[in-house]
Structure 1
């Protein structure tokens, strides 16, 4: 008997396997409970007044919410992952480029995440770092193997636990720093510009946000997909930024788990740190499995096990040597999302041929070149790089596609006219 792929790695998710609002909200909140956002929150907290911080975080998460919400809409309507959606714009083999970039980045961050759990826990407990890496890596791989059901259960446990314990710690830290009034009165020693602050806020999650369709495709309705995604960014991501800012202000530490260690809350700190990284790493490993499955046509389950083992083995090396490169690699991902959005909403006017009936190009070189152009725009044009990259990529892709279509139409008309002239003679 042929085994059924319950994660629908290479096909649309049928309506019978979709999930309602609360389960989808838990998964999307788990995605946005991201340790790196706390580090970014700490960076913003040091360079902005508290009022500026709140405004920047709300504005940044609004932009992230619009970007990821639009991707969630497409995913829910089509039932397709980021990688299968990429086939429409990039072509079947052309989609291997975004799939490889997305999947390789997520395997890298999975390894870094395992080390980010092991290093501080080793510091306070004395347990060997490599033992912690292996145990956490294997446990995270096991839950990612079981797919969306396991992600949902994990998120339903992790999200409230992180929110409650983290908020308790943040309130204590606020009191230690002199209360809410002290936060409101804070003046940064070196002020950060608003454009730079928005770059930090948006850039911290825009790459992972490009993977939103991998999860939102399971939403029962488009409204559920979009609303849960936007709510997750406004609550989940904003909370992570707030934890980071308060921790930095009170103790000079942006990670809420490190703040809890300082407060003597050892067990709660390990729980918060573990659950936070666990939800992030499970989502990363799940998404990487879908990406490499698109390339290899091997089922997601088998790819997840392989990726988890690789990420676990390389965890400490990635943590010590590779984080900068992963950040650079991640900066190339928003252009992928921009091309998917532009292709669906502008060129295809909000409607794709059903996946099973679609005959894909092998490679759409316009999309590949537009991706390169968009990455260059993000790096070279002044302003806010993530926004520059998304808008620049979309403009290039649409403009070049329409220009080539126009040239093709003119050529066909000219050839037809020449043929008619020859026939007349």
Structure 2
């Protein structure tokens, strides 16, 4: 890519488009209680509706995670914005539970197209040699995810039409994002026809494999923690802590994503090699705080869990993304990043559905504690592995 196409202005504008798309994926979080009242469905259905989104993401990443390496970043992002708009329309006109499933699936397709392509796009638009490109990409991702429930919670609590206004606002933001994307440059120099894109086979380039395993485990646990927060924490706050203010519910969820952004910023200070084990430690502490919140029904522990666990997720996720992006060749970068997101979004779907299945027989507290125990074992194993075999750090000038 020509040097004059790089710079902070296009990088940040692309990050803003990324954030708008990701915000749309978490907009329904503080609204699930209202949808439960409207359509009369169970807590298990909430987790399944939520997980349909993750299935859409994983499907796109596996089938077309490398599409932007071939056809270019911008065409893939156009499709992503189109699916985001279609998802908002489904929620806007939802008259039955099936509309929620379709809306979440379309949202997942949008996020699946954006995660690999937009991350690579933002990194490539950053000034050459800068260490901040990956931070902008991951901050746009997590910051957007955090803004979604906060925006929806505030509008649902303090404005009219709680199930409609937020999606009208998001449609307007998507339209603005499309206008911004129209003025940004393409970064893929040698593009190929869409019919050359093939579904990705399981496997990674040899030079990526040594860093991918521990990076993927840390990403899985971090996203699983976020999955539980965004799917069942509003219900826990309402039923166990008597917190019915939807703005507060949205803020608690948003705090986890904002803390993730702060954790990502800290990677520049602690370094990629140390950020992964430190992130695993913070994730373990966040899980312990969440266990205490479930056991003793304490709102302060829920907030602390969101902050500490979110920071741990940010440290580990940016470290993971930096490590695998540095290890990948430029023409394989979006595909490798997409593979990391496949594992991460598996963390959002599988454990969350497991929690939903356990709520009926053992209650929300018991289901949450089982989830925490399983995630604690995984993150402890990853942390011990990383302490014994640190992630190798590439030469200066790599993507960070």
TM-score using structure 2 length: 0.29
Looking at CA atoms only, which structure, 1 or 2, has the larger radius of gyration? 1
